[in-house]
Amino acid sequence: MSREKYSGFLVRSRAGHDLGEIYLVLSEDERYAYLCDGKYRKADRPKKKNKKHLALLVNGYEKTDADVIPDDITVMKMIREYKKVLQNTKEEDNV
């Protein structure tokens, strides 16, 4: 079982019907991570997914002392920005 810390990170689904989708990890327990994408999976109703089916990408946000969860608009912006950076990187590799 993985002991990595997932909370606050963007992750990519490695298995299931959502294969390849990018999510923000809101919280976690020993086995599962609770994910949202701001569009289909809102922060108030996160998706429960086994950690072994996730790939860590980048730090999405810094947790504060109050553990404030970002709103859905902020989550969508984080994911959009990550995809934009990823696309720019791919374009530079092709040049």
Can you give the residue ranges of every domain in the chain? 9-94
Q: Which of 95, 16, 89, 93 is nearest to 55 (CA)?
A: 16
Q: Return the closest-CA partner of residue 6 out of 78, 59, 67.
A: 59
pLDDT of residue 59: 77
> Can you give the pLDDT at residue 67?
66
CATH fold, domain 9-94, is: SH3 type barrels. (2.30.30)
How does pLDDT run along the chain (95 residues), one tens digit per residue? 445 688 889 999 999 999 999 999 999 999 999 999 999 999 999 999 999 999 999 877 766 545 677 899 999 999 999 999 888 887 777 76
Q: Give the 3-state DSSP-derived string for 8-53, with helices as H, strands as E and coil as C.
A: CEEEEECCCCCCCCEEEEEEECCCEEEEECCCCCCCCCCEEEEHHH
Length of the chain: 95
Q: Is the pTM of this model over 0.95?
A: no
